[in-house]
Structure 1
Amino acid sequence: MSHCIYAARRILTMNPSQPEATHVAVRDGKILGVGSLETLADLGDYELDERFADKVILPGFVEGHSHALEGVLWEYAYAGYFPRTDPTGETWPGLTDIDALQRHLAAQTVSLPAGEPLIAWGFDPIYFPIRRLTRDELDGVDRERPIVVLHANLHMMTVNSAMLARADLETQADIEGVMTFEDGRPNGELREMAAMFAIFDTLGIDLFDRGSESATLERYARIAQRHGVTTLTDLYNPLSDAGVASMRDTCNRDDVPMRLVPAMSALTYTPEEGIERVLDAAGQASDKLHFGLVKLMTDGSIQGYTARLNWPGYHDGAPNGMWNAEPERLTEIVQRYHQAGLQLHIHTNGDEAVDLMLDAIESALELWPRPDHRHTLQHCQIINQAQMKRAARLGVCLNMFANHIYYWGDIHRQRTLGYERSQRLEPLASADRLGIPIAAHCDAPVTPLAPLFTAWCAVARRTASGEVLGPMESLSVERALKLITLDAAYTLRLDGHLGSLEVGKFADMAILDEDPREVAVDQLPKIGVAATMVGGRLFAND
């Protein structure tokens, strides 16, 4: 039976038994062999493809924590502090003051029918310490039209008076997460899921369920393709019946260049309902669609002041953050899903949230011992040495938000965490020294989907201002590349199928213009991606 052999300047396999090669053989969507052309000669008749002979091939990048919202939100106006490129290649400028935000939002209303809500996203209030965005500023844009501005961390939003009135929140300022002026009136800022969902419910929009729509998934996959990503997660999906059907129909198409791993949002259902929903979805899995993960949201975000921090709390004296559910309920959820044999991916930004979840996992393991559970703490921004040693003992994986160092490192150094704790932001090297399974992620759409940038953050540890935070936590380029390939696959229980280039695994590849190990460190995120391959099918980038 004939197969195809692809030649490259170099192949970085992520296979410790054979780290490098020059040729890879592909048949029936899988890797048939890796080595030199001479060593592959005994595999039978082949067709030699040399179009990538001057390129460098890696396993397709694996994004272990992102959201299909990346494919949804570009239907709305971007309003972030940093410039950002949309799926069409257009770069949207950053909005660096409230006046610029108001002008931008006003310009978006021109094309909207009267009364239709204006939704924008990406706003980051941490960069506006002098002037807080409130309902008053949004009323200055349009007092009659409902306006919703999602914050970059996706844990907060600001709405105008028309939206507060429509959602009946004017008289419900005692609801947790509805922030107020000094006189007790809601100021338009809503924090965490309970308050935010009141807005979504009023508008009849479920942004997370929209992540399962075909058009959204196609857009998500094309964004990923541009950056060499072949396996994506959607780490907060309600797994509605219609959503599962749409994911199945879309992902299984040959022209959609991704594998998808959705994680069910645990707080959407009772544990009994959620367990049944995940197990039912698993019956519709395929090579390109994998179920079995459960996402649990504990606290919020540090830069949004909603993360739960241990003593002494926030460096600038701000009140401690919020739980998305009572700690007792969060603990029970961990135990129930663990008992059911499912894998939990748990949002833990603050170190108090890390403590709570390590307690919950330890108690679950005492009651129902499970080797190789691979429960994964996500973000774990300032996890400390004692917590990491405990995680190692419990067999917990850590997937760290390396991009956070660049986008919010300066803020944490100056305002939220101070000097000492900012040195242990995303302590990847310490976790690696302890033998903990680790990965790194972008949390798109919170930050852009770009794994080579994520790898650069893990290596350079440089903030937007150029300061290096925690140089002792820096990784080598070689180690960082493993974080976005085989290590990320491990946290998804897919390392037996992808993440490295070796016999029997899916033929998923990222074809790069340069060898990441040979360019200057600051050129790492700028390396061009010529194409990706998913299951032996090539997708060229323009």
Structure 2
Amino acid sequence: MTHKCNQIFNCACGSKLWQSLLPKDFNPSCELNDQTEDNATESFIMHAINGGTILTMREGMNENVEAIGIKDGKICAAGSFEDVKKEFSDSVPKVEEIEGAATLIPAFIEPHVHIIPSAVINAGLDLSPFYGQQLRENVFPKDKYNFDWVKKVLTEKADNMTAGEGWILGHNMDPSLFSSGNKVINADKLDGISNSVPIYITNTSGHLAYINNAAIKVIDEHNISVEAENGSKKQKKVSTGKNGVLEELSEMVPVLKVLIETYDYENGKIKLQAKERIKQEFDKLFESAVSHGSTYMLDAALDEKQIEILKAYAKSSKSKVRIGGAYLIDSLDQLNTSIGSLGLPNSGDEDFNLSFLKLIADGSSQGLTGYQYTPYDCNENYEVFAHAEQSDFNEENEDKIKKLAEQNITGLFNYGYPIEFNGLMRIANNYGWPTMTHANGDHAIDRTLSAFKQAGITKNTIDQRRDRIEHCSLLSPSTMAEMEHLGISPSFTIGHVGYWGWNFKNTIIGQQRADQLDLCASAINNHGMRITLHSDYSVTPMGPLRYMEQAITRLMESAPNQSLEVLNPNERLTPFQALKAMTYDAAWQCHADKWVGSLEVGKCADFTILAESPLRYQNRKNMAYPAQGMRDIPVLKTFKGGKQVFVQPQESYLSNISWDNQNKALTFKYTGPKVSPPKGVEAKIWYQLQDENGDALTDKYTEPMNNVYFNRKVEICTESLSKFDSATKFYLVAGVFLQSKKADVIAASALIDKCCGTSEVNDKTSINKLQLMPSSGSISFEVPSDIQKPKNGTCWLFITDVNTNYGWDNGQVAPNLEGDGSTQGTSTDTGIYYCKNLTDELIESPIDLDSLDLELGKTYKVGICLGSNYRIAAYAVTQCVDKPQRINPIGTL
């Protein structure tokens, strides 16, 4: 396996592939399509009552307060509710209550992401091993992540296209995580998908791409055309690699440019679709960040174009996040040319701040380009090298001996060493710029520490500079001691442990080196370092609660049969250490602690509200690893500068379901919309076990809800019920129960198999793909086709003001609206604009709203109500728009 660097980085986070895909006329001032309402900042108080928690993280401590006050987008007070109220003596502020298990914490910080490259590449077809926050194979056990799955996804796309219509871009395919089958990919293998539609797939490591013979044909025709145009004048041909395998950007980018020129830019419509898709991906990326509770993102590899785009976004009144950045340096010449024009580091503001220079020392360990002292244990197709014993060396084992001799892949170093690399670090220090240096392999980390030392960087400047090593995968006690001595802090891609740990241990680097991965606890406990955890998005999915879970459990999620194997348990963090790494210490490491990271007076009012505290979270399904499942704690709301930038669509659903057949015990969680019952009415949930015909197997149980967003763990112990004992499968059903109203409509259900002890089906009541369009007088949305309507009741669709609470004007009675039995009129005095009986049909097509007086740009609540007592099972919040939001086919540019 031969790599050619040529000053082009050998890892996904340094790849400049996105530059070829970004339309040349992409306008940073107007292309970002954010629909957040531009409301003026409000003054209000967040008040913890009835067991609710407000955790400030003040000075990095586990400090709870009763209330915080917000004025002009900043924290103006924190402490007791009475003391906070005194800060509002000139007005009566709005008060929002945090109740029950709900927990308010400082907003999370994403300390290492790649915003624009991810948005651009994500416009293609997702071939990654991830489904949300999980490994795809763990969500769909019968659908193995291997080439057969990749082929199925690509074939479905190709079957809907014809030759000449376009080409398919696939991204983030990761053969290192293929669980079965051959991991060799080339043009001949891709021809089993299509021999007419060109296909281009990038490997998640960023150093390989694959094209089929249809793409090779396009390239060959391009080369012939160029040769004909230039006559005898020689032109360098665009290489199609070795049987369609493209190595490094020097081969990948020219092929990509030909495909773009051939299909995208000769057809205005296709070009427009590409721009629209990229705009959508920008929106999705920022929405994903705030939906996971993050309001600060540090982009770890910026150039001038990206700085222009992101600064324009961050300064926009519609920005959902704050952005920090690191300027990418790819050579000594570039640094000498650009350093004078960059200005001073950390001279930005709370919206946008350029904090670091970024160096990329090596590649990725899962891509076999991280720079190691000892060769990898496998070849480029992830075939493990033979580990022959002395007795094996005989003529019969000639192939084994040959393989052992080929064990020489140690990865790559991206800069000339030591002159160029040490020179980069020295110039950065001379100009006062902190550096964040990508280094995965143990050899790359040692060279990085040597460069820091040669540049004169010491612990004396740690708080001023805050130099970092990114990913910092393979550590040892000696390298950590040197980092402590020099004042260098690590930022760990914790997914290396969670997602790739088993493969590192058993295929890529072996047990001994795998135990050196992401030594989080040692860095904190033994060397006093302030660490962070990151996604390196889009290398792994964004999700701070997931990073915390993987750092706390260190479970290897790609282990066969989801066996609960822990990688080096001594390196597990405590929940508080993990939370601090994602908030207080992340703000410090990103030079953003003057603005975010804790809820202290004078800092930005950036916070998120979780359904339960990650510090108290305990998953009953696997008591040995109580933090397992922490990634699924619902993020209810996120605020940036006192403005709400995300609210969780309120759904009813069951999760974390586990059946103990021996003890006849069931554990589960039920999450539903916030309940605000009328005075004197007690809110509870009810749940029951039923057979497949809907007949009761147990009595109905009720549990207090505490009037909060609800995430509940309960146990059902069944007695000697012969009907239940004879059933092999049963349904768990749950919903809202209001004591005086006798309401027991179904809000969610799940089918449980006694044999395997877990939920086979997990239904939820939800509103999907919601669009409210007053100009066309219609609303369109989707609801699950198998939603269970009440046997003796009705099912309603409703539209209300966004602030109308649970139930009809909190009265919990039928709305007094005019109209016939199927479609009701409006009653704006109660905040209800529309109500339709869905007893006989479920709406999946636009509904006529000509009679409604809805305002363009205003936000409304649209939901489903189950039962004659009008209990809301799910709702979503949407903004009126003047035209449908375009959804282009994924994967086609």
Q: Tell me the TM-score range normalised by the shorter chain.
A: 0.7 to 0.9
**Which residue pairs with 1:174 in the alignment?**
none
**Which residue pairs with 1:295 in the alignment?**
358
**Is the CA contact (8 Å cut-off) linking 1:339 and 1:368 kept in structure 2?**
no
What are the within-5 Å matches in structure 2 for residues 48-63 of structure 1? 48-54=94-100, 55-63=102-110
**Is the CA contact (8 Å cut-off) linking 1:121 and 1:152 kept in structure 2?**
yes
- In the TM superposition, what is the alpha-carbon distance from 1:167 to its structure 2 partner? 6.5
**Which residue pairs with 1:271 in the alignment?**
335
Any stretches of 5+ residues in structure 1 without a counterpart? 171-177
**Which residue pairs with 1:306 in the alignment?**
369
**Percent of aligned pairs with the same amino acid:** 26
**Which residue pairs with 2:230 in the alignment?**
none
| 1:135/1:276 CA distance change after superposition, 3 Å | farther
**Which residue pairs with 1:14 in the alignment?**
57
| 1:80/1:215 CA distance change after superposition, 3 Å | closer
Distance in 2 between residues matched to 1:235 and 1:166, nearest whole Å: 35
**Which residue pairs with 1:541 in the alignment?**
648
SS at match of 1:52: strand
Distance in 2 between residues matched to 1:202 and 1:139, nearest whole Å: 20
What are the within-5 Å matches in structure 2 for residues 130-529 of structure 1? 130-161=182-213, 163=215, 186-202=242-258, 216-240=281-305, 243-267=306-330, 270-276=334-340, 278-279=342-343, 285-311=348-374, 313-314=376-377, 316=385, 317=407, 319-328=409-418, 329-365=420-456, 372-433=464-525, 434-464=527-557, 465=559, 466-520=564-618, 521-529=627-635
Structure with bigger RCO (C-alpha 8 Å, 6+ apart): 1
**Which residue pairs with 1:79 in the alignment?**
127
**Is the CA contact (8 Å cut-off) linking 2:467 and 2:489 kept in structure 1?**
yes
SS at match of 2:466: coil
SS at match of 2:630: helix
**Which residue pairs with 2:156 in the alignment?**
107
**Is the CA contact (8 Å cut-off) linking 1:79 and 1:95 kept in structure 2?**
no
Distance in 2 between residues matched to 1:376 and 1:165, nearest whole Å: 46
Distance in 2 between residues matched to 1:103 and 1:281, nearest whole Å: 48
Letter in 1 for 2:605: A
Distance in 2 between residues matched to 1:361 and 1:423, nearest whole Å: 26
Letter in 2 for 1:274: S
| The structure with more helix, counted as a fraction of residues | 1
**Is the CA contact (8 Å cut-off) linking 1:513 and 1:528 kept in structure 2?**
yes
> Could you give the per-residue CA deviations for residues 41-62 of structure 1, whole angstroms, max 9, x where no partner exists?
3323341422434421111100
- In the TM superposition, what is the alpha-carbon distance from 1:195 to its structure 2 partner? 4.3
Distance in 1 between residues matched to 2:530 and 2:303, nearest whole Å: 27
Letter in 2 for 1:362: K
Letter in 2 for 1:27: K
> Could you give the per-residue CA deviations for residues 252-311 of structure 1, whole angstroms, max 9, x where no partner exists?
23332111123222117710233245339987x442112132222221111111111113
SS at match of 1:302: coil
Letter in 1 for 2:359: L
- In the TM superposition, what is the alpha-carbon distance from 1:394 to its structure 2 partner? 0.7
Query: Larger Rg: 1 or 2?
Result: 2
Which range moves more in the overlay, 357-366 or 185-194?
185-194
Q: Specify which of 43, 47, 53 is matched with residue 3 of structure 1.
A: 43
- In the TM superposition, what is the alpha-carbon distance from 1:33 to its structure 2 partner? 1.4
Distance in 2 between residues matched to 1:455 and 1:217, nearest whole Å: 25
| 1:26/1:399 CA distance change after superposition, 3 Å | same
- In the TM superposition, what is the alpha-carbon distance from 1:355 to its structure 2 partner? 0.8
**Is the CA contact (8 Å cut-off) linking 2:554 and 2:569 kept in structure 1?**
yes
Distance in 2 between residues matched to 1:357 and 1:142, nearest whole Å: 45
| 1:325/1:186 CA distance change after superposition, 3 Å | farther
**Which residue pairs with 2:147 in the alignment?**
98
Q: Normalization by structure 1: what TM-score?
A: 0.87
Distance in 2 between residues matched to 1:146 and 1:348, nearest whole Å: 35
Distance in 1 between residues matched to 2:549 and 2:246, nearest whole Å: 34
Letter in 1 for 2:453: E
**Is the CA contact (8 Å cut-off) linking 1:302 and 1:349 kept in structure 2?**
yes
Distance in 1 between residues matched to 2:408 and 2:86, nearest whole Å: 67
Letter in 2 for 1:518: R
| 1:165/1:432 CA distance change after superposition, 3 Å | farther
**How many residues matched?**
519
**Is the CA contact (8 Å cut-off) linking 1:7 and 1:22 kept in structure 2?**
yes
Distance in 2 between residues matched to 1:487 and 1:214, nearest whole Å: 32
Q: Specify which of 32, 35, 51 is matched with residue 76 of structure 2.
A: 32
- In the TM superposition, what is the alpha-carbon distance from 1:76 to its structure 2 partner? 1.1
Which range moves more in the overlay, 330-339 or 526-535?
330-339
**Is the CA contact (8 Å cut-off) linking 1:56 and 1:513 kept in structure 2?**
yes
| 1:536/1:341 CA distance change after superposition, 3 Å | same
Letter in 1 for 2:199: I
| 1:273/1:197 CA distance change after superposition, 3 Å | farther
Any stretches of 5+ residues in structure 2 without a counterpart? 1-40, 224-237, 262-274, 379-384, 386-406, 619-626, 650-893
Which range moves more in the overlay, 516-525 or 473-482?
516-525
**Is the CA contact (8 Å cut-off) linking 2:146 and 2:175 kept in structure 1?**
no
Letter in 2 for 1:239: E
> Could you give the per-residue CA deviations for residues 474-532 of structure 1, whole angstroms, max 9, x where no partner exists?
11001100111111111211112211111111111011110111121113111000111
> Could you give the per-residue CA deviations for residues 201-246 of structure 1, whole angstroms, max 9, x where no partner exists?
55569xxxx9xx7654432210111110111122222222xx4333
Distance in 1 between residues matched to 2:205 and 2:140, nearest whole Å: 18
| 1:279/1:155 CA distance change after superposition, 3 Å | farther
**Is the CA contact (8 Å cut-off) linking 1:294 and 1:342 kept in structure 2?**
yes
Distance in 2 between residues matched to 1:191 and 1:301, nearest whole Å: 15
SS at match of 2:615: coil
- In the TM superposition, what is the alpha-carbon distance from 1:163 to its structure 2 partner? 4.6
- In the TM superposition, what is the alpha-carbon distance from 1:83 to its structure 2 partner? 2.6
Residue 125 (1) aligns with residue 175 (2): yes
Distance in 2 between residues matched to 1:385 and 1:537, nearest whole Å: 45
**Which residue pairs with 1:175 in the alignment?**
none
- In the TM superposition, what is the alpha-carbon distance from 1:73 to its structure 2 partner? 3.3
Distance in 2 between residues matched to 1:117 and 1:336, nearest whole Å: 44
Which range moves more in the overlay, 229-238 or 271-280?
271-280
SS at match of 1:306: coil
**Is the CA contact (8 Å cut-off) linking 1:358 and 1:391 kept in structure 2?**
yes
Distance in 1 between residues matched to 2:119 and 2:538, nearest whole Å: 8
**Is the CA contact (8 Å cut-off) linking 1:153 and 1:301 kept in structure 2?**
yes
**Is the CA contact (8 Å cut-off) linking 2:459 and 2:486 kept in structure 1?**
no
